[in-house]
Structure 1
Amino acid sequence: MAEAGGDRRPAAMEDLSTEKPFLRWSPSSNMRRRASGDLSLGLSSPSRRPSFRRDVGHAAAETYRITRLALTLLQYLGIGYRWMTKFLALACYAILLMPGFLQVGYYYFFSTQVRRSVVYGEQPRNRLDLYLPVDSNEPKPVVAFVTGGAWIIGYKAWGALLGRRLAERDIIVACIDYSDMIKDASEGISFICNNIANYGGDPHRIYLMGQSAGAHIAACTLLDQAIKEAAGESITWSVSQIKAYFGLSGGYNMPNLVDHFHKRGLYRSIFLSIMEGEENLRRYSPEVVVRGSSVRQPIPLLPYIILFHGTADYSIPYSASKDFVDALQTVGAKAKLVLYEGKTHTDLFIQDPLRGGRDQLLEDIVAVIHASDASALAKVAVAPRARQLVFEWQLKMARQISPF
């Protein structure tokens, strides 16, 4: 995805050699320096002194960036009846949930437990946000999170609600921003693997997670890394450092989803532009790659893969996750599918967390991460439930009009 006014195309995925089975990437010299311990990007000290002026300035800068992303989306979608209908639905959806979004935004911009825009690479959007638990007495497990956004408006701040909820359960969350998608995601994961100990994270307990388009990007990145490792290529992070992969409401077979996305408003021409042409759809499809005979060697390197999906998801049907799990299990990978009856594309990630109280998806993720830590599980069990941020009638109305 290209940042508005930037020098990159909206797809900006790495060009592939026809001799290679999947996405290729050569780490930059900057990343090689970082892997060897050279933290020359101004991050040698993770400490942060509160500054109201700086926080307000950052809030203004982030608002400007989000506006530019929205304008980029408008540029690619153009004007049409179907798009206008969805845009109006999205506006109403956002207005209904605005009380919750404002509270999450205040936490994002002003909480001392959030480290915003940590630099992980040389490009303008090579930034990530860190959500840190209050208790820093011992190293914490880490979730490296790749946000969704239809491959066009993905942005690190979209993970604020997830970051807050997991940080409250003694888990560090690193939300990775990106423009070059797979290349940037890999650089962000590399930074986390090599530097998270400086922020109180346990480098031996790192989990990768993606939501919607971010689930697809993260899965591509993970599989690409396994292929490179199996081929003996030089790497700056290892798949063995990832304890498990959580894919939320993702799509993993692009040829099967093109027509579905077109009917939902992500027009075929736009989607093919994002994927850099129809000829690349199979290359950017983890399910298709896994089913190919040429990548059987990297399969044992993959971590435990758990895919979560709502059965009422109309943006990306839950069959997308089911088919990918089937493909993984067929070739011997450890994979599991968790379905949530009646949940939509946004229920699991937005409405349910805003509702407060019990959050089944969050509980399932925490149970995996803290599975070997009895004291952490006991602490979570007695922790107070999250409070409701939006009235129930607003949540129900937003669910009805959601364009997703």
Structure 2
Amino acid sequence: MTLRNPLLSRRGWLGLASVFGLAALSGCSASGALNALVPSDSYTLRTDLAYGPQARQRLDVYLPLGRRAPGPVVVFFYGGSWTTGERETYRFVGEALASRGIAVVVADYRLSPQVKYPVFLQDSAQALRWTFENLDALGADPRQVFVMGHSAGAYNAAMLALDPRWLTGAGLKPAQLAGWIGLAGPYDFLPIGNRDVQVAFEWPGTPADSQPLVHASKNSPPALLLAARGDTTVNPVRNSEALARRLKTVGVPVELQVYDRVSHVTLVAALASPLRGLAPVLDDIARFIAQARA
């Protein structure tokens, strides 16, 4: 059943955002609440597809309706400090992009403490390889493949795009990407203070080349970096703004958008139809993809 929502006032947008943020902080299924509010008639869903033999090497696919020619596909990685996350809770991301004619792959990956860096990058690269191997089934153009992530997932996407080691290990190369999109990504986070992240990266033995910022080069694919100005989880100045400057310095096309009315959490939540009034996240992503493939 499709749920159609009346237009919300500015107070309504902010109220929903507050509920989402509070739910996330209290451990409730805020994503589940958002998923119940987004349309279900803008995509075809294929679930629990394996890209590897491990239990968490699974993905879901959102195919836009009515697409008559091969078009773009985005492989999305969620956040959660590399310790939590489930692909099912990001249906609102799949629906958002599918509603703009973009196929979406939402991939799980193995998490800490069961695995450590760089296993989650290796999994992410394998999910991207699966995507390239299934472009025909996805109705996707090999020249229009993008990676995208939020928070820890933006780190995964950045490393696939910037550090050739991970895609080379999967038989691919960053030059095959039309571009990449990072939402509130940590791109320069040494030393590590967060205990969960310390475990995931085996701090203090974390190698310096684990940081996306050091891999920015003239060969990097085009980038769209989105951040919340008031983000208290991932500092936008040290991370998104610094990486944008580095990419510009080496001549890579990069666009930086820093929004005022969202937080670390509601930045990605603004993709959901009930919260799109908070920031033009979906519009900016769709425009970047359209320009990158033009």
- 1:208-219 aligned at under 5 Å gives the runs 208-219=147-158
Residue 237 of structure 1 aligns to a residue whose secondary structure is: coil
Shift in CA distance, 149/171, structure 1 to aligned 2, threshold 3 Å: same
Equivalent in 40, 54, 68 of residue 137 of structure 1: 68
Shift in CA distance, 289/89, structure 1 to aligned 2, threshold 3 Å: same
Shift in CA distance, 367/235, structure 1 to aligned 2, threshold 3 Å: same
1:255-300 alpha-carbon deviations (Å, 9 max, x no partner): 15x23xxxxxx43xx322110232215231111344xxxxxxxx23
Greater per-residue helix proportion? 1
Structure 2 match to 1:183: 122
- Is residue 240 from structure 1 mapped to residue 175 from structure 2 by the alignment? yes
CA distance in 2, matches of 1:169, 1:188: 22
Question: How far 1:187 sits from its partner (Å)?
Answer: 0.5
Residue 255 of structure 1 aligns to a residue whose secondary structure is: coil
Structure 2 match to 1:85: none
Greater per-residue strand proportion? 2
- Which amino acid is the alignment partner of residue 209 of structure 1? M
CA distance in 1, matches of 2:269, 2:159: 24
- 1:356-375 aligned at under 5 Å gives the runs 356=275, 358=277, 360-371=280-291
- 1:31-46 aligned at under 5 Å gives the runs none
CA distance in 2, matches of 1:311, 1:336: 15
Equivalent in 312, 319, 343 of residue 230 of structure 2: 312
- 1:5-404 aligned at under 5 Å gives the runs 90=24, 92=26, 94=28, 99-103=33-37, 107=40, 113-179=44-110, 180-225=119-164, 236-256=171-191, 258-259=192-193, 266-267=194-195, 270-290=196-216, 299-319=217-237, 320-351=239-270, 353-356=272-275, 358=277, 360-371=280-291
Number of aligned residue pairs: 264
CA distance in 2, matches of 1:373, 1:242: 10
Does structure 1 conserve the Cα–Cα contact (< 8 Å) formed by 2:24 and 2:30? no
- Which amino acid is the alignment partner of residue 81 of structure 2? A
Task: Report the identity percentage.
Answer: 27
1:346-402 alpha-carbon deviations (Å, 9 max, x no partner): 22211562525555010011112223789xxxxxxxxxxxxxxxxxxxxxxxxxxxx
Structure 2 match to 1:76: none
CA distance in 1, matches of 2:234, 2:174: 27
RMSD: 2.9
Residue 206 of structure 1 aligns to a residue whose secondary structure is: strand
Does structure 1 conserve the Cα–Cα contact (< 8 Å) formed by 2:93 and 2:271? no
Unaligned runs of 5+ in 2: 1-21, 111-118
Shift in CA distance, 331/204, structure 1 to aligned 2, threshold 3 Å: closer
Give the TM-score, by structure 2 length.
0.79
Question: How far 1:200 sits from its partner (Å)?
Answer: 1.3
Unaligned runs of 5+ in 1: 1-87, 260-265, 291-298, 375-404
Shift in CA distance, 157/98, structure 1 to aligned 2, threshold 3 Å: closer
Does structure 1 conserve the Cα–Cα contact (< 8 Å) formed by 2:241 and 2:256? yes
CA distance in 1, matches of 2:205, 2:31: 40
- Which amino acid is the alignment partner of residue 279 of structure 1? G
CA distance in 1, matches of 2:108, 2:124: 8
CA distance in 2, matches of 1:99, 1:155: 15
Question: How far 1:169 sits from its partner (Å)?
Answer: 1.0
Residue 288 of structure 1 aligns to a residue whose secondary structure is: helix
Does structure 1 conserve the Cα–Cα contact (< 8 Å) formed by 2:175 and 2:221? yes
Q: Highest CA radius of gyration, 1 or 2?
A: 1
- Which amino acid is the alignment partner of residue 228 of structure 2? G
Give the TM-score, by structure 1 length.
0.59
Question: How far 1:185 sits from its partner (Å)?
Answer: 0.3
CA distance in 2, matches of 1:184, 1:102: 29
